[in-house]
Amino acid sequence: MAYPTTQADLQFARNAQQSLVEYLQAGPLKDDTLAIAGVGDLEVRIAAAEALLAWAERSPAAIIEAHLAAAEAAQRASELHVELSGRSLSRPVVEGQALPLAHLRRRLGDHYLNGALLD
């Protein structure tokens, strides 16, 4: 089962993207090449997280992979929102926080490199 934070991060990214899109659509940046590309970049991160979340039931590794993708989507959404709108959004605190991302990456790497079991 996916970490609670995975869904929360993904939802945050979606919400931030929607907020950003509404902000951009109301102003001159909606036709700005760089802003458009930025929205596209975020769309890719969200799509990646959604696709990996759909695979999360496959294995313990897949759960971590989905979590890392969702975290990246949330982080990118937060940064892009500040960059294009000048306003920051606060990410919600979720009960049952998983390990720090760096530790999850290490555990995943240990799994692929050394066959370490993931629970």
Partner 1 sequence: MSAISQSRLPEQATSAPRRPAHIIGSDAEAIEVAQRLAEDFAREAVERDSERRLPWAELERFSDSGLWAITVPKSHGGAGVSYTTLTEVVAIISAADSSLGQLPQNHFGVLNNLILTGSEEQKHEYLAKVLAGYRFGNAFSEAKSKTVTAFETRIRFDGDSAVIDGEKAYCTGALFAHIVPVAGVDELNRPFVAFVPRDTAGLRVIDNWDGFGQRITASGKVLLDAVRVPGSAVIPAWKAYDQPTADGPVSQIIQAAVDTGIARGAFAQALRVARLARPWADSGLDQGWQDPLSQAAIGDLAWRLRAAEAILQRSAQAVDQALAKPSEDSVAQASVLVAQAKVLSTEIALLASTRLLELGGTRSVSASQGLDRFWRNARTHTLHDPVRWKFHLIGNQRLNGVKPPRHSWN
Contact positions vs partner 1 (CB under 8 A): 17, 21, 24-25, 30-31, 33, 35-41, 43-44, 47-49, 51-52, 54-55, 61-62, 64-65, 68-69, 102, 104-114
Closest alpha carbon to 42 in 67, 18, 7: 18
Give the list of residues 6+ apart from residue 105 with CB closer than 8 angstroms, or none.
Answer: 68
Written as six digits, the tokens of 37 are: 């590309």
| Closer by beta carbon to partner 1, 90 or else 114 | 114
Residue 60 C-beta: closest distance to partner 1, Å: 13
| Closer by beta carbon to partner 1, 11 or else 22 | 22
Report how far residue 47's alpha carbon sits from residue 10's, in angstroms, rounded to the nearest whole number: 10
Residue 91 C-beta: closest distance to partner 1, Å: 20
Residue 88 C-beta: closest distance to partner 1, Å: 20
Written as six digits, the tokens of 50 are: 């959604």
- Residue 20 CB neighbours (<10 A): 24
| Closer by beta carbon to partner 1, 48 or else 94 | 48
- 3-state SS class at 100: coil
The one-character DSSP state at 55 is T
| Closer by beta carbon to partner 1, 91 or else 111 | 111
Residue 81 C-beta: closest distance to partner 1, Å: 14
